Structure 1
Amino acid sequence: MAQRGASSATGSRVRRRSVLPAVGPGSEAGFDEAGVCHVYRLSNLDVPSWPEALAVAGGGRAAVPATRLDLSAVTAASTMLRIFSEADSAYGAGHMRSALVEYLKTTVEPLPAARATSPAVRREFLTVAAQLSYLCGFMCFDDQLHDAAQARCRTALGLAAEANDPDTYAIALRAMSVQAHAVGHCRPAVELAESAVGAASVNRSPEVQAFVAGQLAVAHAVAGNRRAPTAGLVSAERHFERATSSHVIGVYRASLAHQRAVVHIWMENPRAAVSSMKESIRSRPATEARSKVITLARLAELKLRAGQVEQAVRTWHRSLDGYPMIRSGRATTALGALRSCLRPYRGAHELNDLLDRASALEGRPRRPAG
């Protein structure tokens, strides 16, 4: 988790608007044309607001008139989006990320420049392509490949703008905000979340508005802003009460409860944090196994901090129950954190059993205690 008060390396950022990249071979994957990998850059967090992005959308794309884009391509891409999204939620990014990268490269990337059968078909495809790029960015984030995650999300922004889809634009900005505070850049995280809220206000989809308002509350809390997080949570709850559907990459009660828990952690309200984290776990669908493993590990840490060692051990065992089928960099990090958290408490039989189990899952023997 990002440290409170962390900000960009350059101090107060000058907001310089950049033009989002069009889809091109290699560019969206975090690599330039020469195959050189980009690093996670603060300058890449300075992205256009929704109105600015809309004004420059689609510029510079070379047309490929010999290629045809029709409704069957939209249907196929939508089906693949559902498959990849469900697999990622259930098993973690490590199982499917490479396959999605290949699918984007071979099938999706060539089509935005193709001749579409109608403007509506083109917009639909661009929206699905943006959602696939966002999903790939989230998979990279899950595997802690932060440079590639940043590049994929920026590509999603460009495609969403070209599709005139402010909701997908907002969701991609929200993902960039989550990543920014995860790697310690709190001020950009707030700014990105604020831009996401602005984009989500265009269509006023309650699900998307709740999703991004909750993230803005989290970003403010992590940045040490004391009043804004509460207002953000109230806004998120209000939007969620109006929600009637769940977006394929969107919002459900467990996510909002988790956002509330994170706010309570940073606002130093551990009892409320534990209660919200438990609600998130109860609300999590069985298909969301990766998130459940990670959230249980975080709940165990909260219980340990409260001195509830036995309860923490039981909760960690529940997390480890789901770990073997998960391939996720974040889940692996949570497993390593377990060992660090329990180091001051080692020696008790139940702790040794837990550490032995964690060590077996990590594939290496545990050092003797003491």
Structure 2
Amino acid sequence: MDQIINKLSVIDFSFILIIVAKILLLVVLYQVVKKYKPAWLMPVRVLACVMIMRVILFENPLAWYIYNHTLDPEVVGWRQSSVLYDNFNQFKSNQEVEFLAVGSSQTGAIYDVSVDSVASKLQVKSLAGLGPVDLYMYRENIVESNPENVLLFLSEFDMGRYPSLEAIKLSPNLGLKFPEIFMRIREDFPGDETNNILKEMFFGEIFPEYKYSYIFKGYLDQFTGKQVVMPNLESQVDDDNYFENQLSQLKVAVQEENLEINFRYLNDFISYLSDHDINVLVIEGQYHPFGYSNKNLALQEKVRSQLTDLQAQYSNLTYVPKTETIIFTIDDYDDAYHVNKQAAAKFTRSVINSLDKFGTGTH
């Protein structure tokens, strides 16, 4: 019961006013059509049913809370599952937060908001696989969270991977800015696959039923016994092979040719936050010590150099090398990417307590 009360206490109930406004609009529309155009009553009734179903399915925090707690991430997908939780968070009150940590599941793992004195200062926005292109796609959504400072945890693993365009289909609706983003994505990532993804994005902008169809498919798969329709490697191999595969991915997925496009989107993200007077603290990312190859280390130097150059370009940006934070050891990791709870608590205290030393946005 206490957990439910805590969840309710942070909800911004202004969404109810929007729902009431829609109901009143439907009532007025129905009465006008009934009086002057009775032949149009059936389309109005259909419109009313669609709007009511969307309110029930998508336009309230309870729906997203239920989806997040009843759908298995291995059934719907890890990014899809994290979007469910993030959509629930969109209904929280946007009170000014001092620090908002944004990033992939690595970011979700390295920050422990339960640490004493941290909960009032720090919030975490973690989406599986989130990269620089996603940061750009979520830029307005992040600004709407009203942070004073945004914390990023970036390494050559983030900047050297090819962007996952499939994930951008689940980004927040773009509205009138869709044509601009459409043209940019198509230009930056030419090809039939991109064109198909953009078509799906377009339909998702208009029809949330299509955008979030994985919710309904997920329930159907769980009901019919397909408990794992998107199994992760961990469920198919033993722990040692799973870990070795993760290490292999760390070395294979990171390529120098991906730096240019990722830094271009990171640059635009930082520029957007600069325009909104939001400071950015980029903390150099880390992963398991066994994941570093000679290629990764060479790429690490290039990433450090470019982040240093960005810091010179933007007064709102502070870059913090890992040597100025806690350097994780082998014992700190649960797998090749994610640290354990003890390491997260240690890292969180270190970062929060050192922010004055880092001088966010004041270099």
State the TM bucket, normalised to the shorter chain. under 0.3
Structure with the largest fraction of strand: 2
Structure showing greater relative contact order (alpha-carbon pairs closer than 8 Å, 6 or more residues apart): 2
Using the size of structure 1 for normalisation, the TM-score is 0.27
Structure with the largest fraction of helix: 1
Using the size of structure 2 for normalisation, the TM-score is 0.27
